[in-house]
Chain A
Amino acid sequence: MLLEARDVEVTYPRQDAPALRDFDLQVDERAAIGIVGESGSGKTTLGRALIGALAPTKGEVLVRGKPWSEVGRRDPLRRSVQMIFQDPYSSLNPHLTARQTVGEVIRHWHRVGRHAASRRAADLLADVGLPAAAIDRRPGRLSGGQCQRVGIARALACEPQVLVADEPTSSLDVSVQAQILNLLRSLRETHRLALVIISHDLGVVRYLTDSAVVMYAGEAVERGPTDVLFARPKHPYTRKLLDAIPGQTSAGAAQPPSAAPLAAQPRETHAGRK
């Protein structure tokens, strides 16, 4: 198993309630798992915990059986799980060009000289569809979709086995979203990756993943194969999510409106929640 979360709980300092609770997840080779949730569901916290950027308050996240706390900076396991971030612009160093951003990672892990790294970076950027003219530009002069491609190339430069994508297309224009989704899908094949897609957009999850976990208020409320989840949702929250998708032709299979009503606006609580 590539990546595993066991009983993970995360409580932020100065908060009473945990942002994430009792969470388990197993990511195998070439799996494609979706984490579905809205704001406050704990999905962002989960993403950070999965890549080892956040230490859980309880439980642990293991990379090939080794907890993140034991993985040193130079440990080859450090490379195996990488992330694509939501905001394409703030996920890149504004002072570095696309080539430098990717080249830096290549130099670090593959111990090659500056020129070789630079050439490899250019190749990798071409692989992810960045036009040649854009390779030597800084993020300020790239479009959102292009920045996201650079972020993907940077992650791929580590030759990871798991790619965690935190809302990879939410900040992009609709006409560009499909490009990035196609890219992620094809990369999964060509680079033999496992994908963990965190998104509130059910369309994205449906398209990219084989199985999914639905999150609400820090807990997993339902999980299962993606098509089953969409066709026969069991938990009232899952049904509510599916219903809420605007437009008739959107939801996969027709579902009768949720029979079990939830309390009116249960999440419109003020104060407290991050």
Chain B
Amino acid sequence: MTAALLEVRDLAIEIAGWEPVVDVSFDVAAGECVAVVGETGSGKTLTCRAVTGLLQRRGGKAVRGSAHFDGVDLLELSDRQWQALRGRRISFIPQTSMSGLDPIMRIRNQLQETIRVIAPQDDPKQRMRELLELVHMPRPEQVLALYPHELSGGMRQRIMIAFALVGRPQLIVADEPTTALDVTLQRNILQLLKELQHETSMSLILVTHDLGVVEEVADSVAIMYAGRVVESGRAATVLREPLHPYTRALLAARPFAAGRDQELAAIGGQPPGAGDHVGGCPFSPRCSIAVGACSENVPPFTPVVDRPDHRVACWRAGKDADDAA
């Protein structure tokens, strides 16, 4: 079995004296789309930043673990070394598209500048046209002449994707690329990303909180809670047969999952905040099947019997509320 393009093992990140991310491990194969699912405090954004070398700016540092990308450990790279990698082999699409664009430059100029820096061997005008076509930008000539604030949300997001593609990256990390967009646009952008993946055999790490998005585009999924990965595996498998109580609860809490006259299966409480210390499994206070042992020891992240791709961190994985311990 070929080594994955990106192998993250036991990643732990420290910020301001505490560890918001602990023991995170997942793989991204070439051409694969991996969804990282989590809510506030899950650590998904920090994990993204670790993998794109943007941790220092947030005041964080990776204190344990490794992230091997094509043989190189990303966590060991200096800022300089990241310059060579970022935008060229690994690209990042941030959540807020406005902050990635220079508000006083026209799109054309920004794009040209980026092309010259990252892909100097390309003819800028030609490459610009190619990129806009790749992202299916309507009326490309007009768009190039605009300033960022004149673009609609959907167009801005397409531009951000175009920027990310300039260097023909092997891996794109997209942090909630469709969260701020309308539902109808969401679908278009997701389809676009999927299409690009197939055309260029690019890998994609997609951070999202929406399980519907996972179902739609992801090959694999890693579910994060309070800084740890609690379940991971092939998307279809995890969504069809979730084993971790949090995954199950997320699936059950969606409004579509309930009949009109039932109460939604809400998860009581809220995700732990910065510095909240929970003994044992971080989900135990809100878990419907937790027992004593759960709040004492952190469950290890282990593969499921018969399904090596599917891993769970739960002492009682797969059990229901009325099962015996």
Using a CB–CB distance below 8 Å, which chain A residues touch chain B?
Answer: 38-39, 143-146, 173-179, 181-182, 185, 200-204, 206-207, 227, 240-241, 243-252, 264-265, 267-271, 273
Q: Which residues of A contact B319 (CB under 8 A)?
A: none
A171→B249 CA distance, assembly (Å) = 19
Candidates B40, B188, B258; contact of A173 at CB < 8 Å: B40
Using a CB–CB distance below 8 Å, which chain B residues touch chain A?
Answer: 39-40, 138, 142-143, 146, 150-155, 182-188, 190, 209-217, 249-250, 253-258, 260, 263-268, 270-271, 273, 286
| A–B complex contacts, Cβ < 8 Å, 25 sampled | A39-B153, A143-B270, A175-B39, A175-B253, A176-B267, A200-B183, A201-B183, A202-B183, A206-B256, A227-B260, A243-B187, A244-B184, A245-B212, A246-B215, A246-B216, A246-B217, A247-B213, A248-B215, A249-B215, A250-B254, A251-B256, A265-B154, A267-B182, A267-B184, A269-B152
Candidates A174, A249, A250, A268; contact of B39 at CB < 8 Å: A174
Q: Do B183 and A244 touch (CB < 8 A)?
A: yes
A99→B266 CA distance, assembly (Å) = 25
Q: CB-nearest residue of chain B relative to A181?
A: B264
Q: Do A244 and B186 touch (CB < 8 A)?
A: yes
Q: CB-nearest residue of chain B relative to A38?
A: B182
Q: CB-nearest residue of chain A relative to B180?
A: A39
A247→B187 CA distance, assembly (Å) = 10
A176→B39 CA distance, assembly (Å) = 10
Q: Which residues of A contact B216 (CB under 8 A)?
A: 246-247
Candidates A145, A177, A178, A244; contact of B187 at CB < 8 Å: A244
Candidates A174, A206, A240, A265; contact of B209 at CB < 8 Å: A174
Q: Do B154 and A175 touch (CB < 8 A)?
A: no
A145→B150 CA distance, assembly (Å) = 34
Q: Do A240 and B184 touch (CB < 8 A)?
A: yes
Shortest Cβ-Cβ A-B pairs, 8 listed:
A247-B212, A203-B255, A178-B266, A38-B182, A246-B212, A247-B215, A178-B264, A178-B253
Candidates B150, B184, B256; contact of A38 at CB < 8 Å: B184
Q: Do A207 and B260 touch (CB < 8 A)?
A: yes
Besides A175-B271, A249-B257, 4 new A-B residue pairs in contact (Cβ under 8 A), listed by A number: A206-B260, A207-B255, A246-B186, A270-B151
A225→B257 CA distance, assembly (Å) = 20
Chain B interface helix/strand/loop/mixed: helix
Q: Do A173 and B271 touch (CB < 8 A)?
A: yes
Q: Which residues of A contact B249 (CB under 8 A)?
A: 175
Candidates B155, B184, B213; contact of A241 at CB < 8 Å: B184
Candidates A177, A206, A244; contact of B253 at CB < 8 Å: A177
A268→B181 CA distance, assembly (Å) = 12
Q: Which residues of B contact A178 (CB under 8 A)?
A: 253-255, 264-267
A173→B210 CA distance, assembly (Å) = 10
Q: Which residues of B contact A177 (CB under 8 A)?
A: 253, 255
Chain A nearest Cβ from B59, distance in angstroms: 21
Q: Do A250 and B264 touch (CB < 8 A)?
A: no
Q: Do B190 and A175 touch (CB < 8 A)?
A: no
A186→B318 CA distance, assembly (Å) = 31
Q: CB-nearest residue of chain A relative to B216?
A: A246
Given known A-B contacts A173-B40, A175-B253, A268 and B212 have beta carbons under 8 A apart: no
A173→B270 CA distance, assembly (Å) = 9
Given known A-B contacts A174-B209, A201-B255, A182 and B155 have beta carbons under 8 A apart: no
A45→B81 CA distance, assembly (Å) = 50
A182→B252 CA distance, assembly (Å) = 13
Candidates B138, B211, B255; contact of A268 at CB < 8 Å: B138
Q: CB-nearest residue of chain B relative to A39?
A: B182
Q: CB-nearest residue of chain B relative to A37?
A: B182
A14→B267 CA distance, assembly (Å) = 46
A103→B211 CA distance, assembly (Å) = 39
Given known A-B contacts A176-B270, A264-B138, A270-B151, A250 and B253 have beta carbons under 8 A apart: no
A247→B265 CA distance, assembly (Å) = 19
Chain A nearest Cβ from B292, distance in angstroms: 23
Q: CB-nearest residue of chain B relative to A264?
A: B138
A227→B186 CA distance, assembly (Å) = 24
Chain A nearest Cβ from B149, distance in angstroms: 9
Q: Which residues of A contact B267 (CB under 8 A)?
A: 175-176, 178-179
Q: CB-nearest residue of chain B relative to A242?
A: B183
Q: CB-nearest residue of chain A relative to B252?
A: A178
Most buried by A among B150, B254, B268: B254
Most buried by A among B215, B256, B263: B256
